[in-house]
């Protein structure tokens, strides 16, 4: 019981540090507040802050430079998401939340795709590419994100997709490619209800 409480406290400090990073608008390469400042802002012992920072450094999210301080790293080139899932996505409810978030982003993207000026031509090109044996679900939605022309949405989708892949690696296109072709055809109609139904059939 004591271990569970300690683990919960540790997770809380890590989450609070994450919020500070967001609140302060820190980007890769930026310096984090000192241990003392974090301790004061979070109203926790410096030892708790030190433990949380050590975990974040082991995950590759931050790096400590001797005599300079602690800096936020660019984690895109590191295999962190599977490691993060070990700490953060430990129950089915949280995992389901990631899956649902990914679905919301994907369907939102599709709702923008149908506004594309060269929709039918672009979708026909994607349908041709889908005939390749090694074409994946990720390839499909990457193409959709490109058509959506929203870089922020694409980045968020990429992160959420990687989180999902860390605990659920099933490619919906495997043995199911016909449903993706059906979705392509429904996108051409621009009928949102039909598109929604086709998208739900992918699962």
Q: Are residues 72 and 7 in the same domain?
A: yes
d(CA 95, CA 116): 33
Residues 155 and 117 in one domain: yes
Range of the domain at 127: 81-200
Q: What's the pLDDT tens digit per position in 49-94?
A: 988 888 888 777 888 888 899 998 865 544 555 555 555 555 677 7
Residues 86 and 150 placed together within one structural domain of the fold:
yes
CATH number of 72's domain: 1.10.10.10
Ramachandran assignment for 191, one of left (phi > 0), alpha (psi -120 to 50 degrees), beta (any other): beta
Last residue of a domain, one of 32, 48, 77: 77
For residues 161 and 102, the answer to whether their CB atoms sit within 8 Å is: yes
Last residue of a domain, one of 41, 57, 77: 77
**Are residues 59 and 34 located together in one domain of the fold?**
yes
Farthest-apart Cα atoms in the chain, separation: 61
CB atoms within 10 A of CB 14: 19
Is residue 43 domain-shared with residue 118, that is, in the same domain? no
Over residues 133-180, the pLDDT tens digits come to: 889 999 999 999 999 988 888 888 887 887 787 677 788 898 889 999
Q: What is the distance between the alpha carbons of residues 195 and 154, in angstroms, rounded to a whole number? A: 20
pLDDT single digits (tens) 6-40: 445 777 888 888 888 888 888 888 999 999 999 99
How many structural domains are present in the chain?
Answer: 2
């Amino acid at each position: 019981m004591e271990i569970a409480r300690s683990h919960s406290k540790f997770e809380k400090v890590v989450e609070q540090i994450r919020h500070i990073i967001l609140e302060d608008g820190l980007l890769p390469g930026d310096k984090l507040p000192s241990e003392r400042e974090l301790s004061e802002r979070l109203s926790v012992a410096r030892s708790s802050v030190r433990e949380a920072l050590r975990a974040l450094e082991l995950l590759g999210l931050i790096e400590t430079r001797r005599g300079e301080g602690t800096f936020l790293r660019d984690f895109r080139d590191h295999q962190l998401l599977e490691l993060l899932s070990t700490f953060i996505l430990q129950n089915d409810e949280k995992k389901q939340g990631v899956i649902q978030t990914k679905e919301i982003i994907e369907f939102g993207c599709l709702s923008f795709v149908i506004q594309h000026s060269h929709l039918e031509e672009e979708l026909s090109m994607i349908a041709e590419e889908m005939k390749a044996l090694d074409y994946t679900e990720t390839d499909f939605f990457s193409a959709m994100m490109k058509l959506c022309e929203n870089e922020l949405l694409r980045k968020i989708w990429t992160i959420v997709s990687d989180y999902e892949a860390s605990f659920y690696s099933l490619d919906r296109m495997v043995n199911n490619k016909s449903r993706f072709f059906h979705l392509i055809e429904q996108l051409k109609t621009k009928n949102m209800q039909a598109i929604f139904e086709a998208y739900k059939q992918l699962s």
